[in-house]
Amino acid sequence: MSAEAKSEVIKEPSMLKQKEMIANNYDKLTSAHELGIKTASTFVPGNLNELIMCFDMANNLPEINAIQNGMRKKSGGMIMDAERSGHSEDVCTYVKADIGMMSKGNIAPNGKPMPAPDVLLLSYTGCFTFMKWFELLREEYKCPTTMLHVPYEADGKITPNMRDYVVKQLKEEVIPTLEQASGVKFDIDRLREYLRNSAKAEDDLVWVLESAKNKPSPVDCYFGGVYYIGPIFTAFRGTEDAIEYYQLLRKEVEERIAAGKGPITPEGEMKEEKYRLVVEGPPNWTSFRDFWKMFYDEGAVVVSSSYTKVGGVYDYDGFRHDPDNPLESLADYCLGCYTNRNLPTRVDMLARYIEEYEADGLLINSIKSCNSFSAGQLMMMREVEERTGKPAAFIETDLVDPRYFSAANVKNRLESYFQMVDQKRKGGGSAAAA
């Protein structure tokens, strides 16, 4: 759980397992030079963790560092430092938090400095900011950089040409760069084994997410969901640790279903499920617990969210990493990330989630500094409303900039939205929220 979570928060075995995994990875990263380990920096959407592990490299993800600093209430000062050095207020706050973190000594959550990466691996999946971010890091670290260019799914499907294009880059550019940076020869059988592990963990993750179809839902797939996706979207996909984590999580959720219990939250167990929502967009991290409590206080459970698909979509079209087609599988994974899908596909996903999970409506959290999520959201909202007949609402916050979280404004909008849901249930009132 986050650093702001209080001592009374329930800690299940899966939570403790994940906390241990994260701590161990930061210890590995910050001790890399003493241990003789090379490190790679990469991003969450479309990350090639299984491939990176083939070269005995530790994986460092800049967005995760920004999230950790946001939840620890440290990102605000880092962002202001970056702005004072010339970065615009409109720049992604993950970037500014990372730049500010570097200016303060690049201190990891364990209090030790991060090593300079040995290689920057950019898997470009629908976010132009990633390219500019790595340009800044390349200037800072002067290390090798390799880019995997992933074509945008403009027509909503992966074509053989797109897959072949990505595989060609893996063979001719990415793998040779990682071999050179690490000094380790690529072994495709080793990759197959990691992908086999990934598929096992992905099966259990999907089961957990789909458990929200139960009434009451035993899980919250937005606030709780950010913990559920953590291992599989970051430095642990492909590991035995990830398999064990998702087995533990699934067992806990099975027990909650059998007992007819709702999700566990920082405020305690959700006792009564009054509203079932689908949420589009990332959460706010600097006020994460306060944000979640607003939902808890209203009895609102998020039964599905687009954010839990940002690092890979497994439930919508059944994708799993495939050890029998390792490089092609990596290509399909990158191509299928949520932010690499066109707006009609995103609308289809959200509408389907509302129907399949019997949700009361759609809530969009529009992120001020994240164009890859926020562009087109108003259009998406209207389309989903029209298709499902369920009411939708629109709130605005930011990722890790505390200046853009107005608790009073968000609370007022949520209360108005839940009133609208109540009216809709009674057969009256408008179907849309401003």
Tens-place pLDDT, residues 149-171: 999 999 999 999 999 999 999 99
Assess if residue 47 is contained within a domain.
yes
Residue 326 confidence (pLDDT) above 80: yes
Return the HEC string of the chain.
Answer: CCCCCCCCCCCCHHHHHHHHHHHHHHHHHHCHHHHCCCEEECCCCCCCHHHHHCCCCEEECHHHHHHHHHHCCCHHHHHHHHHHCCCCCCCCHHHHHHHHHHHCCCECCCCCECCCCCEEEEEECCCHHHHHHHHHHHHHHCCCEEEEECCCECCCCCCHHHHHHHHHHHHHHHHHHHHHHHCCCCCHHHHHHHHHHHHHHHHHHHHHHHHHHCCCCCCCCCCCHHHHCHHHHCCCCCCHHHHHHHHHHHHHHHHHHHHCCCCEECCEECCCCCEEEEEECCCCCCCHHHHHHHHHHHCEEEEEECHHHCCCCCCCCCCCCCCCCHHHHHHHHHHCCHHHECHHHHHHHHHHHHHHCCCCEEEEEEECCCHHHHCCHHHHHHHHHHHHCCCEEEEEECCCCHHHCCHHHHHHHHHHHHHHHHHHHCCCCCCECC
Assess if residue 101 is contained within a domain.
yes
The 8 Å CB, 24+ separation contacts for 326-330 are 326/188, 326/191, 326/192, 326/195, 327/167, 327/170, 327/171, 328/163, 328/167, 329/195, 330/48, 330/50, 330/51, 330/166, 330/170
Residue 44 confidence (pLDDT) above 90: yes
Assess if residue 105 is contained within a domain.
yes
The per-residue pLDDT for 130 is: 87
User: Closest by alpha carbon to 208, among 155, 161, 245?
Assistant: 245
Q: How confident is the model at residue 285 (pLDDT cuts 50, 70, 90)?
A: very high
Give the CATH number of the domain where residue 54 resides.
3.40.50.11890
Residue 372, phi then psi, degrees to nearest 5:
-65, -25
Contacts of residue 353, defined as CB under 8 A and 6 or more positions apart, other chains included, come to: 278, 303, 304, 359
Number of domains in the chain: 1
Q: Cα 109 to the chain's mean position, in Å? A: 19
Assess if residue 347 is contained within a domain.
no
What's the burial of 238, exposed, middle or buried (CB within 10 Å: 0-12/13-18/19+)? buried
Specify the range with the lowest mean pLDDT, choosing from 137-151, 268-282, 288-302, 419-433. Answer: 419-433
The per-residue pLDDT for 434 is: 41
- Structure token digits, residue 426: 């009674």
The per-residue pLDDT for 428 is: 54
Assess if residue 100 is contained within a domain.
yes
Stretch 340-345: mean pLDDT:
94
Residue labelled with tokens 């913990």: 227
**Max avg pLDDT among 136-145, 250-259, 422-431:** 250-259
Contact 145, 42 (CB under 8 A): no
Stretch 185-204: mean pLDDT:
98
Average pLDDT, the chain: 93
User: Closest by alpha carbon to 156, among 34, 335, 356?
Assistant: 335
Strands 39-41 and 58-60: parallel
Position 226: which residue type? V
Q: Domain limits at 147? A: 13-186
Distance CA 154, CA 300 (A): 34
The per-residue pLDDT for 432 is: 44
Assess if residue 286 is contained within a domain.
no
The total number of residues shown for the chain amounts to: 434
Distance CA 343, CA 225 (A): 23
The per-residue pLDDT for 9 is: 63
Assess if residue 177 is contained within a domain.
yes
Assess if residue 235 is contained within a domain.
no
Contact 245, 18 (CB under 8 A): yes
* Nearest-10 Cα torsion for 90, 91, 92, 97: -120
Contacts of residue 190, defined as CB under 8 A and 6 or more positions apart, other chains included, come to: 53, 54
Distance CA 37, CA 28 (A): 8
Q: How confident is the model at residue 7 (pLDDT cuts 50, 70, 90)?
A: very low
